[in-house]
Chain A
């Protein structure tokens, strides 16, 4: 199957108002390209069987059971069945950029919804933490709907406290879990990094998904413009063509610094650009995750 052909443009998906449907579209798109489930580890302790789902690793299929029952079952192991994940979503005002076609917040929300759907559909627990909302990690369809509803209700606004939100997510996650942080990481970098390190020390696996738009990377403005900071309201008028070089150097250094920091701390890092189809972006992220986990 041509994986690329299944990718759906983010602006098209964003027009779908039902976030659960959005999540399902994305997950169907990414799972079809994965050889096995991305969130199941290599625990040797068998726990139970469940029906095979497309994407499950073939080495966990019980072929003897297939021969006996003509049905395909996947073995599940203890640790994977107890996996809990927390989705930390940046709701700062800077995430509201750009206004069209898809803002970073809408894109991050689609990613969060898809991750939550994927994790929940595999029977694992997933929770949501934003500046204004907290859902503990739970499994089940009902909880998934609550999570998706909370995601739909969230919106970008001023006053995002990233360090506190990450700390709360890590502490409430309890035992070893998976911490997904979806943010542009413009705010309180050092404090946020410190909390992520702390989460890693607590035994959590940290995944940093840095969400950014193409305009922020390339600064595709030509003429004079007055740029207004979405978070502080401060403005600066510049000749955009003259400012482009220094801007792109600065933002490239910023992104590279986060990538290096994440690498140095053994976090999983992915740069999520808003114009990339979300299923393709997540597939790359999850494939990289699988490569990391391969012994």
Chain B
């Protein structure tokens, strides 16, 4: 049941209060001791007698009339089985063919909310490349709205992604990557407002400070991937052995593994000459190479790459969302929900008022029957 004007119930209940008090008050009419009743005709029976509370049937009938009038004034809208079936038989469907599927889903949900009762469904059409729809987009759609995917057309040929920033010459440079079929190109797009200092400390055992300085300057001129926040490393050249500190930090373990893999793949540096460890939250790299060694800068590049985020190249590729994922996201529309009050064009108050009229007519009939009973009961006494 939906009530169009629920406040009307309070108004009519408030009005009923004085009526009830009036009925009860009238029942307590005063008693007058009188010398004789012979001249008082029974025809002028007091209204309190007609509304005597001892006539329970009339009382409940009148209560029913008041309640039905309250219900009628409140504008009832019955959610009947027939109405529910009619709503469920209708499906309101909206197609989303936007290139920006996320925005399309938002607009579709907003539009569906304004529609009359019925099942609701969104159909997402397009190439559906990876990244065009995410779990968060699906979660933002109300659970009663069905979702269906249809692949149409072809995947887009190009895709532009944001690439990781690089640090060079004391600047942090933003980059953009364009995937065009099998070709991938990257270009600088601007400068980032961030700390551009390379978080790699360079040290050499046995002095050789000048060599360390030259190495630091050479590294600064390189274009190295911007490290993730909080990640730092210390590279010690001419190191004969590590202090055997175990690595407990996951990122340090991951960085050390990546660096070790890069060194091994590159082959220029002997893996046995490099040792990895941790000092707190700092990646420790010990190398037997000296700071003047030509491979020293290579080692620093490897360490710098290990501090940056690992690229997830498969996610960047222009491929379609797997069918299994689309099936997992798809769902049938739920049964239609009753409409909001402002969606209801016509409520059922006319039936309620009709019931009120019928009850009033019935009450009148019952009351007259009761009066006739009283009148016929008085006839013998008057004759006496």
Contacts and interface: CB of A to CB of B under 8 A. Distances in A.
Interface in A220-274: 221, 223-232, 234-240, 242-243, 246-247, 250-251, 254
B23 to A, nearest CB: 12
Interface string B153-185: 000000000000000000000000000000000
A216 B38 CA distance: 12
A186 interface: yes
A290 to B, nearest CB: 32
A99 interface: yes
B40 A97 contact: no
A239 B47 contact: yes
B41 A246 contact: yes
17 contacts: A94-B36, A95-B35, A104-B35, A225-B46, A227-B31, A229-B36, A229-B37, A230-B35, A231-B35, A231-B36, A234-B37, A235-B31, A239-B44, A239-B45, A239-B46, A240-B44, A250-B38
Contacts of A229: 34-37
A239 B35 CA distance: 18
A184 interface: yes
Contacts of B366: none
A211 B329 CA distance: 103
A188 B51 CA distance: 36
Nearest to A247: B39
B37 A226 contact: no
A186 B38 contact: yes
Given A225-B29, A225-B31, 8 more contacts: A95-B35, A226-B29, A226-B32, A226-B46, A227-B34, A228-B33, A229-B35, A246-B41
Interface string B14-40: 000000000000100111111111111
B187 to A, nearest CB: 100
Interface in B44-62: 44-49
B42 interface: yes
Q: Lowest 7 A-B CB distances belong to which pairs?
A: A250-B39, A94-B35, A243-B44, A242-B44, A224-B46, A224-B29, A237-B46
Contacts, number: 92
Nearest to B34: A227
Interface residues of A, number: 35
Q: Which of B31, B40, B43 has the most CB of A within 10 A?
A: B40
Contacts of B29: 223-226, 237
Interface in B256-311: none
A186 B37 CA distance: 10
A237 B30 CA distance: 9
A219 B300 CA distance: 122
A104 B29 CA distance: 25
Contact of B44 (A234, A238, A254): A238
Contacts of B44: 238-240, 242-243, 246
Contacts of A237: 29, 45-46, 48-49
Nearest to A252: B39
A216 B35 contact: yes
A99 B33 contact: yes
Nearest to A99: B33
Given A223-B29, A226-B32, A236 B37 contact: yes
Interface string A66-77: 000000000000
B30 A226 contact: yes
A229 B33 CA distance: 6
A251 B39 contact: yes
A228 B38 contact: no
B45 A227 contact: no
Contacts of A225: 29-32, 46
A26 B38 CA distance: 33
